[in-house]
Structure 1
Amino acid sequence: MSKVLLVHAKGGPPLGHVLSRAAARAEVHLLALSALPPVVAGSARRLCASVDTPSDAPSRDLVSLIVSRARAVGADAVLTFSEYAVVAVAEACEALGLAGTGRAAALARDKRLMRRTWREHGLPQPEFRSVATESDLYEAAASLPFPLLLKAAWSAGSTAHQIIRSPYEVSAAWRRSREVMAESAQLGYAELHVAEAQGHYVVEQIVTGTASEWFDEPGWGDYVSVEGVVADGTFHPVCLSGRMPTVEPFTERAGITPAPLSQDAQDRVVALARQAVDALGLRDCGTHTEIKLGADGRMWLIETAARFGGAMTVPQIEDVFGLDLVGMLVDHLLGRPVEWPEHALTPDRARGAAGSLVVLAVDGRGEPWHDRKVWDPAAVKDVTLSRGSELSVVAESSLADGEVVPVYDPAAGANTMAGLCLLSATDARTVLRDFEALVDALPRVLPAARPEEVSV
């Protein structure tokens, strides 16, 4: 039986989903660079031929560690679904002579390199500057129109994003972004291979998006993502996911599959995503490309990742289109024939719709909840939704029952999430409306935290 080394770190699709699909295609050996989620630890040991959790991983050369473990287990393929391990796994695959993302992996990870590459190819994106010091940021702010968005070049989950509206906010934004990146690293949400990554930033112009010219009903966010895969250097779009509006500054709240765009609009979005992925020169990997939607058909590239979308994007696609992307990628990396979609799948091919909602302590307008709450999955699942809709709480990606919901921190983004919910419904519009109802209901149905719980 073919053997696969799966490198686990924080982020990406839930580990439980990945393991069950990968184990159905090959003998799986797990190299855990982050602690296994408690709800998955037992099944991981049942599904995997071996589970290695090296305590000294942070102090070791990560590529050498992966290569050594792959050779020890006789791996025929090595893969990861975590943003933070993509570059290390790509370099390990190169050293092992195995199929993988390729030498261009860093272009889909470092936002500075990504934007430079797209600029060289003349692709539409916000004006930007690379930043390494506070002086760099002041210089960039003097050459770009306000408002600006400061991003950590290697971050994920909207962490360390800071909106800068005037020169007077530059120093505070710089200081806070660096603080958040240091905090994220302590939590395990940071690049695992590039040691100097925490010092790399990009600042860019905030472009004005609009959803009304792209969607037939209100409530949608002004950007979409194109989910896809690169196989032997050829990009295969799978489908589009729509979004709820972000929470300030640009923290993602929900992704919904499929995105209910017209065929013409979907074709134009996919064409731009193809240009973006092709420009990066990726070889064998999942892809997730976010695109901002503007007036008069304008679009801007936000970013492309050399891995499948996070949260529940992969399970959503399986639920809606019947495609097991994890299993298909494993098969491809092992050299087995895989039939990827010839074109991006459209809503008329979908079996209903599905979405994932990140629970943040803010209401539908993005305003903080008035008081602190305790996480209670049973209360979440009791919220009344549309007939036929099914809601579940993803325990692996949520607080434990009874934990106090964190206060939403705009700079920390998804680091302050309380939980992750998965919803299936008859169509995308119903998912959107049910998520709006759920967001409104949560501060009412979740139990209030006791003073002694909040002070801990």
Structure 2
Amino acid sequence: MSKVLLVHAKGGPPLGHVLLRAAAKAEVHLLALSALPPAVADAARGLCASVQTPTEAQRADLVSLIVARAGAVGADAVLTFSEYAVVAVAEACEALGLAGAGGAARLARDKRLMRRTWREHGLPQPSFRPVATEGDLHEAARELPFPLLLKAAWSAGSTAHQIIRTPHEVTTAWRRSRDVMAESAQLGFAELHVESADADFVVEQIVTGTASAWFEESGWGDYVSVEGVVADGTFHPVCVSGRMPTVEPFTERAGITPALLPPDAQDRVVRLARASVDALGLRNCGIHTEIKLGAGGEMWLIETAARFGGAMTVPQIEEVFGLDLVGMLVEHLLGREVAWPAQALTPAQARGAAGSLVVLAVNGQGKAWADRRVWDFPVVAAQVPLSRGSTLSVVAESSLADGTPVPVYDPAAGANTMAALCLLSATDARTVLRDFAALVDALPRVLPAVRPEEVSV
């Protein structure tokens, strides 16, 4: 039986989902760079032929660690679904002579290199400047029109994003972003291979998006993502996912499969995604490309990742379109024939719809809850009415335990302050939007209040 080395780290699709599907295609050996979620730890040991947790000393040279472990288990393929391990795994695959994202993986990870490459290819994106020091940020603020968005070049999940509206906010934004990156590293949400990655930033102009010019109904956010895969250098788009509006500054609240774009609009979005992926020169990996939607059909590239979308994007695609992307990618990396979709699948081909909601302590208008609440999914399931045919579940490995106070939302920390991840299945995408709006409004009302002795948590 073929053998696969799966490198696990924070982020990406739920580990339980990944392991079940990978283990159905090959013997799986798990290299755990992050602690296994308690909800799936026992299942992981049962599904995997081996589970290794390296020491800090072994992690010092991550590529050598991966190469050595792959050799020890006789791996025929090495892969990861975590943003933070993409570069290390790509370099290890190069050293091993195995199929992988290739040397271009850094271009799909470092936002500075990504934007520079797109600029060289004349692709639409916000004006930007790389930033390494506070002085660089002040200089960029003199050159670019406000408002600006400061991003950590190697971050994910909107971590360390700061909106800068005036020159007077530059110093505060710089210091806060640096602090958040340090805090994120302590939580395990940081690049694992590139040294000093937490010091690299990019600042860009905030372009004005609009959803109303692209969607027939209200409630959609002004950006979408194209999900797909690169196989032997050829991009295969799978579908387009929609979003609810972000929470300031740009923290994602919910992803919905499929996005209800008209056919011509979806075709234009997919063409831009293809151009962005082709420009980067990736070889074999999942793809997640985010695109901002503007008035008059204008679009801007936000970013392309050399991995599948995070949260529940992959399980949503399997539920709605019947495609096991994890299993398909494993088979491709093992050299087996895989029938990728001939073109991006459309809402007309969907079997219902599915969405994932990040629970944050903000209401539908993005304002903080009036008081602290305790996460309790059974209460939510019992008290929040959903549409006929809709079902709601909680992703245990990505959620706080019931009875835990919901963190206060920190705009700079983004998804680091989430309380839970919920999955909704419904008859169509409009219903997902409607049910999520009702859920967001109901949470601060139905969740139990924090007791006085828990307020400091």
Q: Give the TM-score category using the shorter length.
A: over 0.9
Q: Residue 431 of structure 1 corresponds to which residue in structure 2?
A: 432
SS in 1 for 2:174: helix
Question: Shift in Å at residue 59 of structure 1?
Answer: 4.6
- Matched residue type, 1:235: F
Amino acid at match of 1:192: L
1:127-276 aligned within 5 A: 127-276=127-276
Residue 445 of structure 1: aligned partner: 446
* Contact 1:381-1:393 at 8 Å conserved across structures: no
Task: Calculate percent identity across the aligned residue pairs.
Answer: 84
- Give the counterpart letter for 2:255 in structure 1: G
Q: How many angstroms does 1:453 deviate by? A: 1.1
Q: Which residue of 2 aligns with 1:411?
A: 412
CA contact (8 A) 2:320 2:351 kept: yes
* Amino acid corresponding to residue 196 of structure 1 in structure 2: S
Instruction: Quote the Cα distance in structure 2 between the aligned partners of 1:375 and 1:389.
Output: 21
After TM superposition, give the deviation of residue 377 of structure 1 in Å. Answer: 1.1
1:381 Cα deviation after fit:
1.6
Q: 1:58 to 1:12 in 2, by over 3 A?
A: farther
CA contact (8 A) 2:354 2:426 kept: yes
Rounded Cα–Cα distance in structure 1 between residues aligned with 2:346 and 2:59: 46
Equivalent residue, structure 1, for 2:40: 40
Q: What is the CA–CA distance in structure 2 between the aligned matches of 1:58 and 1:280, rounded to whole Å? A: 31
Measured after TM superposition, the shift of residue 58 of structure 1 is 7.2
Q: Is the 8 A contact 2:59 2:65 kept in 1?
A: no
Q: How does 1:90-129 map to 2 (within 5 A)?
A: 90-129=90-129
TM-score by length of 1: 0.99
1:435 Cα deviation from its structure 2 partner:
0.3
Query: Which residue identity lines up with residue 233 of structure 1 in the other structure?
Result: G
Q: Judge conservation of contact 1:394–1:420 (CA < 8 Å) in 2.
A: yes
Residues in 2 aligned to 1:48 and 1:38: alpha-carbon distance in whole angstroms: 16
Structure 1 residue 57: deviation in Å? Answer: 5.8
The equivalent of 1:26 in structure 2 is 26
In 2 relative to 1, CA 57–275 (structure 1 residues): closer, same or farther, beyond 3 Å? farther
2:73 corresponds to:
73
Task: Measure, in 2, the Cα distance between the counterparts of 1:39 and 1:59.
Answer: 25
Q: CA deviation at 1:195?
A: 1.0
Alignment partner of 1:104: what SS?
helix
1:269-312 CA distance string (max 9 Å, x none):
00000000000000000000000000000000000000000000
1:200-225 deviation line (CA, Å, top 9, x unaligned): 00000000000001000011000000
- Cα offset, 1:333, TM superposition: 0.1
Larger deviation, residues 444-453 vs 101-110: 444-453
Q: What is the aligned partner in structure 2 of residue 454 from structure 1?
A: 455
Following superposition, the deviation at residue 129 of structure 1 comes to 0.1
Matched to 2:417, the amino acid is T
**Conserved 8 A contact 2:58-2:65:** no
Provide the C-alpha distance between the structure 2 equivalents of 1:58 and 1:34, rounded to a whole number of angstroms: 13
Work out whether residues 223 and 291 of structure 1, in 8 Å CA contact, stay in contact via their aligned partners in 2. yes
3-state DSSP of counterpart to 2:440: helix
The residue matched to 2:103 in structure 1 has which SS?
Answer: coil
Q: So what's the TM-score if we normalise by structure 2?
A: 0.99
Q: Paired residue for 1:311?
A: 311
| Alpha-carbon shift at residue 55 of structure 1 (Å) | 2.8
Q: What is the distance in 1 between the residues matched to 2:216 and 2:101?
A: 37
Partner residue in 2 for 1:286? 286
Amino acid at match of 1:126: P
What is the alpha-carbon distance in structure 1 between the residues aligned to residue 242 and residue 36 of structure 2?
A: 30
Q: AA paired with 1:415?
A: N
Asked whether 1:54 is paired with 2:50, we answer: no
CA distance in 2, matches of 1:68, 1:168: 50
The aligned residue for residue 400 of structure 2 is 399
Are the counterparts in 2 of residues 33 and 57 from structure 1 also a CA contact under 8 Å? no
Match of 1:363 in 2: 363
> How far 1:196 sits from its partner (Å)?
1.4
CA distance in 2, matches of 1:72, 1:16: 24
Q: Is the 8 A contact 1:32 1:54 kept in 2?
A: yes
User: In structure 2, the residue corresponding to 1:30 is in which secondary structure?
Assistant: strand
Q: Which residue of 2 aligns with 1:386?
A: 387
CA–CA distance in 2 between the matches of 1:442 and 1:357?
12
State yes or no: 1:422 paired with 2:420. Answer: no
Q: Deviations over 1:242-272 (max 9, x none)?
A: 0000000000000000000000000000000
3-state SS in 1 of match to 2:213: coil
Q: Which amino acid aligns with 1:124?
A: P
Separation in 1 of the partners of 2:58 and 2:162?
A: 28
- 1:342 paired residue number: 342
Alignment partners' CA distance in 2, 1:176 and 1:358: 23
Residues 115-138 of structure 1 show CA distances to partners (whole Å, capped at 9, x for unaligned) of: 000000000000000000000000
Q: Which amino acid aligns with 2:211?
A: A
Structure 1: how far apart are the matches of 2:444 and 2:152?
31
Q: CA deviation at 1:416?
A: 0.1
Compare 380-389 and 290-299 and name the one that shifted more. Answer: 380-389
Q: Which amino acid aligns with 2:270?
A: V
Amino acid at match of 1:402: G
For residue 34 of structure 1, report the CA deviation from its aligned partner: 0.2
121-130 vs 51-60, which moves further: 51-60
Distance 2:199 2:249 in 1: 21
CA distance in 2: counterparts of 1:440 and 1:58, whole angstroms = 47
Q: CA RMSD in A?
A: 0.7
Change (3 A) 1:76 1:57: farther
Cα distance change on mapping 1:134 and 1:346 into 2, 3 Å: same
Mapped to 1, the partners of 2:412 and 2:57 lie a distance apart of 28
Give the distance between the partners of 2:58 and 2:364, measured in 1 at CA.
39
Q: Deviations over 1:163-197 (max 9, x none)?
A: 00000000000000000000000000000000110
Instruction: Name the aligned partner's letter for residue 101 of structure 1.
Output: A
The residue type equivalent to 2:64 in the other structure is S
Aligned partner of 1:387: which letter? R
Q: SS in structure 1 opposite 2:425?
A: strand
CA distance in 2, matches of 1:58, 1:405: 35
Instruction: Give SS of 1:129's match.
Output: strand
TM superposition shift of 1:14: 0.2
